[in-house]
Structure 1
């Protein structure tokens, strides 16, 4: 287990190559791997998780202009999903687990909690202050050419995930 950003701890996911600081990015793409970031279901965990995911993305080679929009989108998605879990699931789920998986052509983030309630993206309601986090995640994901969904876990909770494509190398 390694410390990321002095905050959330990244744990290489079992059964997959976890990567590390010495891993080189694939030619033209990010280094592959999967990591889990378990945190307490508290408001302070939202920025800690976002910073830990950002640091890991950068360590995997997602730096520079080519990856800027992807990284920004992923960090927005992580912030919204962890915030939703902390706000709505903390009573039934004292821990929230974010997972980051990096492939050659895609990046997937997921947030798992122990609450069985499956949220739905609310439509834009100008009279409401809030409640649009999942709609924002869905919109950002679709605009990036990705996919997102909500699934039940074997333990009765849920995992909300988004998978976004890695931008092609310039000139391809």
Structure 2
């Protein structure tokens, strides 16, 4: 994914590149952890559309939508969706969750795409 973003003009050391990597990492972790092994695979889809928006989708086959879990101070989990929502909002983006025809879901993150033009 980093190579694709770089081909689209986003330097690997840009702050937003770190944000995108963290969002994808959290979404992928959620797809593995919270499907309780009932979704043996997941896919990551990264698109750059004509309206200059970066769309990141993580799809799994488990029917349950993500939900906020209680996060106790002594636990190191339960904060993934909070982190994803905060990072997405901080970048001026939005989060949506869509059911798939196969009975699973895709968590979509849409971010504005503004990469400085290289001369």
Please indicate, yes or no, whether the TM-score normalized by the shorter chain is above 0.5: yes
Count of aligned pairs between the two proteins = 116
Structure index of larger Rg: 1
Q: Which of 34, 39, 48 in structure 2 is aligned with 1:88?
A: 34
Unaligned runs of 5+ in 1: 1-52
Taking only aligned residues, the RMSD between alpha carbons, in angstroms, comes to 2.1
TM-score when normalising by structure 1? 0.61
Q: Deviation at 1:73? A: 1.2
Moved beyond 2 Å, runs of 4+: 121-129, 167-170
Residues 43-122 of structure 1 aligned to structure 2 (within 5 Å): 53-63=1-11, 68-89=14-35, 91-104=37-50, 105-122=52-69
- 3-state SS in 2 of match to 1:89: coil
Higher mean displacement: 127-136 or 149-158: 127-136
Unaligned runs of 5+ in 2: none
Deviations 1:111-139 (A, max 9, x none): 00000011123466434321111110000
Contact 2:93–2:111 (Cα < 8 Å) also in 1: yes
- 3-state SS in 2 of match to 1:85: helix
Relative contact order, higher structure (CA 8 A, sep 6+): 2
Query: Which residue matches 2:110?
Result: 163
Cα pair distance change 1:167/1:89, threshold 3 Å:
same
Query: Which residue matches 1:26?
Result: none
Tell me, in whole angstroms, the C-alpha distance in 2 between the residues paired with 1:144 and 1:77. 11
